[in-house]
Structure 1
Amino acid sequence: MRFPPEIPAAFAAQMTHWLGAEADHLLSALSGRPWRGLRYAAVAKPNGSLPASLAPFLRDRVPWTEDGFYLAQGPSLGYTVLHQAGAFYLQDPSAMAVAVALDPRPGERILDLCAAPGGKTTYAALLAARRGGAQMVANDIHRDRVLALAENAERVGAPCAITNESPSQLAEAWPQAFDAIIVDAPCSGEGMFRKDPAVRAEWRPDAPERFQALQKDILTHALNMLKPGGRLVYSTCTLNPLENEQVVLWLLDHFPVELEPLPEWPEWQPARADWAADRPELRRARRLWPHLGRGEGHFVARLRLCEPVSDQPRRRSKSSAHPGANKAWEAWLESFVTAIPASWRRTTGNKNVVFADVLGDLAAPGLRVLRPGPPLAERKGRVYVPHHAASRLIPPGGFRATVEIDEETAIRYLAGEPLAAPGDVSEETAFCAVAHEGFHLGFAKRAPGRLNNLYPRGLRSTRIESLAALAEEVAASSSYT
């Protein structure tokens, strides 16, 4: 059989074993261009819509979610004002289905166990916000990746706690603690071959078998953390049934779980029962094949736990209030925010930073907690200064003072320049929010004749591009389809 030269020969042989003649169509698709996607992301504006300035870049809607669009081929939108403001998230269209499958419900406690870089966490947080909110915890075992997770959660305003632990450590601390868990498991990444040449180059013939062992270990710990009746969404971005159908079959054979039916999303196919002991319920899981749907390769299954796996009672611990959560803190909030969220009154602290206490009674000695919740403010002496993350947690009109700026001014603000002080900015507070097209960029501090820029130095960039200029570039090229 002939196959594209960039595809590993052993992978082609494996796919031919499973798919037969259909493998030719898959391998041909994997040598093409990947699909690009963008979805609405601002959690503080859960029922909002994408700004009109993004319209030149958007193509069809992603049919399995109301928030996603396919993007025109062409320039990246990652260095634009609206991306920095958290208005949208660049995400593979197929990956958007995982949070949709989770189907967050009001007041649930949700864990994303392998969460970095945060696409699924942030979308689950947005869907939860539409339904009244949830207690979200996002974890990743890798220190470098968990920092990217924290940055993305902060950018879109996802109000979650972030931990940096192994699944085994979390399972020991949090037995039967969660209503819903996402396990977007480490995998051989075969579905990403056309998107990421590095994944293709690193693939080895024994990768599916090696990753299957890791996936089973992670899932065992995840089920220990799930309440009876709770939901577990298992997903991978790979194609081999060893990591997909056969892992789900193993779960069905070894744990008290039931496979729940997922929606019949357009362009997705039922999982292959014939690849896993012909168990007919496996068809309730879903696959997106790159040669059959507009997305990268993905597998999604949702399971319900029928009875507890762990026999350990969860050790409850009380969240310790931040020492600054007193009359001074309340007075500062009143001067700064028009309607104080309840979570901003339940705070905890680390050094001089005040955090919303999302982790709450899940706090446990010894766990590596990067953030117990979103940071709200820094205490400098007797003065509170708003933390940048707080700008993304409040909807428009939520701050006592807000300055709306155009794109050109926003580009300068993101580079660190001060702003001219408009005459209509309220003088009730020393700080004001800075917004573009209704999305908060950050904060500024009043000074004589100007507003001093509080955008974090580590985030400042001189690379921000104008959407209008990029739109002209797209319009000028017929290849951007």
Structure 2
Amino acid sequence: MQLPNAFVDMMKPLLGTAWPEFEASYDRTPQRGVRIDRWSVRADDPSRPPILQAVSRHLQGQVPWMPFGFYMDEESVLGKTVYHEAGAFYIQEPSAMAVALAVDPKPGERVLDLCAAPGGKSTAIARLMNNLGRLVANEIHPTRVKILAENLERMGAAAAVTNESPGALAKAWPASFDAILVDAPCSGEGMFRKDPEAAREWSQDAPAACAARQKDILRSAVKMLLPGGRLIYSTCTFNPMENEQIVAWMEDELGLVVEELPNWPLWSPGRPDFADGRIALSKTRRLWPHLAEGEGHFVARLRKPESATTNAYASLDGGRRSRSGRERRGEGRSVGGARGTGTKDWQNWLAEVYECPDNAIKTPILHKDIYFSDELAGLAVDGIRVLRPGTPLARREGNRIEPLHGLALRGLPKHFFNVKPLDEQAAIRYMAGDALANDEGLRGYVAMEHAGLCLGFAKAVPGRVNNLYPKGWRKQGLISLST
């Protein structure tokens, strides 16, 4: 491919003798990857069903730095299967998989993914926490936030979704998070091979403009970090201005301390010589496409001192807000929701449908007749645009409660009391919206199951099960892997 001349002029001196090998990497096919989520990749793991053999045949070797990540062929059909639609895996660029490992989330922590769309890193964070933390996934772009919400629901991730500027969130949530991920908007140089349009749109002014925007976002992010909390910064670009130099700026201007990241196989240490020569920058990590099978990426983890106070960060510019006009009109407010409303009815209904393993579902929020899992407990949401406070679980219509798709994808078949197993062909028909036979004489709401996955709900009546798969999610032409 033809690299921009200004990009060549910038990178060639930085890479020195490695430049020819780096340049030659653009003649290779971009790498695709898939991160297994609902299945176990180990035969000795009894907590999850084993990965389906029909799927494993399409995998081309493990991603060295991700225990449940695999390479797949560029022409792979895995994204057109019932397993993809049921959240068994997430198709993700291999180098991007390392970012959630850098977050290192623990069950019980409160984590914010500040620039989260389309959701690959958020869903990986939820997986690493076993859905036992409090995850907020934010995206400022109104179209991209809807894609984010759909991916989180498809993957069964326990997460709230907000659609706000970093500055607005910083004002509402000072010192609130154990970890914050800033997968920053960047000049995208690491994606040139995957997306040639990114190379055509790149300009020599892009890195400086992106670096200024990144600093605005990071000023807001550090305000929301608890003392002793960690900030994970990542980009998919190569230039030092958006990588090592931003990390050095965070140490100097935000008072953060760089932490050593793991020595992931085939990743390289950050380059102190790309900034001011400080040795701490070698604790960051870079993936170069001529040294590893993946696209370009940079990752750093920094720690906020335990002694830090909220007042110490109050003077930082919180970044530019983009919603002033809408806010003056009173739009974009929190969904709010009533905690505890109809709790007894909910719990009685849930006891007949689902063996509930977590409190966010046991005590949901009821908003506009929709029950949501409560992933925002403990956070003030007045004035914040909350797209979803958690997983949409059920709809209340008068005295009747009907399950929603999110509840099915949040759980495993073992969590439901009324389950109908399907083979792959029946699963394909179900996801297309067909009604199926009720040979088992089932009654009431039924979780449809295939290969250890919950596919969605149906309503069983004599002779058939009526399809409750959401109309907006239905797919025609899904591909069978068993034929």
Question: What is the TM-score when the length of structure 2 is the normalising length?
Answer: 0.91
SS at match of 1:230: strand
* 8 Å contact from structure 1 (residues 43, 157) kept in 2: no
Are 1:31 and 2:27 counterparts? yes
Correspondence for 1:453: 467
Deviations 1:328-374 (CA, angstroms, capped at 9, x unpaired): 21211111113453222221122111111111121321100000011
Deviations 1:377-396 (CA, angstroms, capped at 9, x unpaired): 00122110001010011122
* 8 Å contact from structure 1 (residues 356, 373) kept in 2: yes
SS at match of 1:468: coil
* 8 Å contact from structure 1 (residues 42, 157) kept in 2: no
Correspondence for 2:251: 252
Correspondence for 1:204: 203
* 8 Å contact from structure 2 (residues 237, 296) kept in 1: yes
SS at match of 2:145: helix
CA distance in 2, matches of 1:313, 1:17: 38
Correspondence for 2:422: 405
CA distance in 1, matches of 2:412, 2:313: 39
> For 1:264-343, what aligned pairs fall within 5 Å after superposition?
264-306=263-305, 307-308=307-308, 310-311=310-311, 321-322=338-339, 324-339=341-356, 341-343=358-360
Q: Which moved more, 1:459-468 or 1:173-182?
A: 459-468
Are 1:12 and 2:8 counterparts? yes
Q: Residue type matched to 2:384 in 1?
A: L
Are 1:393 and 2:389 counterparts? no
Deviations 1:18-76 (CA, angstroms, capped at 9, x unpaired): 11232222122123211111111239997554322112111111111111011123233
* 8 Å contact from structure 2 (residues 39, 50) kept in 1: no
Q: Residue type matched to 2:58 in 1?
A: F
Correspondence for 1:473: none
SS at match of 1:366: coil
Are 1:360 and 2:360 counterparts? no
> For 1:78-227, what aligned pairs fall within 5 Å after superposition?
78-129=79-130, 133-227=132-226
Q: Which runs of 4+ in 1 moved over 4 A?
A: 43-49
CA deviation after TM superposition for structure 1 residue 326, in Å: 3.0
Paired residue total: 457
Q: Residue type matched to 2:453 in 1?
A: F
CA distance in 1, matches of 2:158, 2:451: 22
Correspondence for 1:346: 363
* 8 Å contact from structure 2 (residues 223, 313) kept in 1: no
Correspondence for 2:439: 422
> Against the structure 1 CA distance between its residues 360 and 85, is the aligned structure 2 distance closer, same or farther, given a 3 Å change threshold?
same
Q: Which moved more, 1:42-51 or 1:443-452?
A: 42-51
| Runs (5+) with no aligned partner, structure 2 | 41-45, 315-333
* 8 Å contact from structure 1 (residues 175, 312) kept in 2: no
* 8 Å contact from structure 1 (residues 255, 309) kept in 2: no
Choose the corresponding residue for 2:476, options 462, 469, 481: 462
Q: Residue type matched to 2:87 in 1?
A: G
SS at match of 1:78: helix
SS at match of 1:397: helix
CA distance in 1, matches of 2:277, 2:229: 26
CA distance in 2, matches of 1:82, 1:225: 37
> For 1:63-74, what aligned pairs fall within 5 Å after superposition?
63-74=64-75
SS at match of 1:239: coil
Q: Residue type matched to 1:76 in 2?
A: V
Deviations 1:296-347 (CA, angstroms, capped at 9, x unpaired): 1000000000143632999xx9x86346433221211111113453222221
Deviations 1:392-438 (CA, angstroms, capped at 9, x unpaired): 1112211111111111111111110011113164x4xx101011101
Structure 1 vs Structure 2 CA RMSD: 2.0
Are 1:21 and 2:17 counterparts? yes
| Runs (5+) with no aligned partner, structure 1 | 470-481
Are 1:375 and 2:392 counterparts? yes
Q: Residue type matched to 1:90 in 2?
A: I
CA distance in 2, matches of 1:363, 1:461: 38
Correspondence for 1:242: 241
> Against the structure 1 CA distance between its residues 286 and 46, is the aligned structure 2 distance closer, same or farther, given a 3 Å change threshold?
farther
SS at match of 1:111: strand
> Against the structure 1 CA distance between its residues 162 and 302, is the aligned structure 2 distance closer, same or farther, given a 3 Å change threshold?
same
SS at match of 1:89: strand
> Against the structure 1 CA distance between its residues 442 and 267, is the aligned structure 2 distance closer, same or farther, given a 3 Å change threshold?
same
> Against the structure 1 CA distance between its residues 241 and 263, is the aligned structure 2 distance closer, same or farther, given a 3 Å change threshold?
same
Identity of matched residues, %: 48
* 8 Å contact from structure 2 (residues 258, 280) kept in 1: yes
CA distance in 1, matches of 2:477, 2:369: 32
CA distance in 2, matches of 1:468, 1:406: 10
CA distance in 2, matches of 1:348, 1:46: 29
* 8 Å contact from structure 2 (residues 36, 69) kept in 1: yes
CA distance in 1, matches of 2:9, 2:482: 47
Question: What is the TM-score when the length of structure 1 is the normalising length?
Answer: 0.91
* 8 Å contact from structure 2 (residues 160, 388) kept in 1: yes
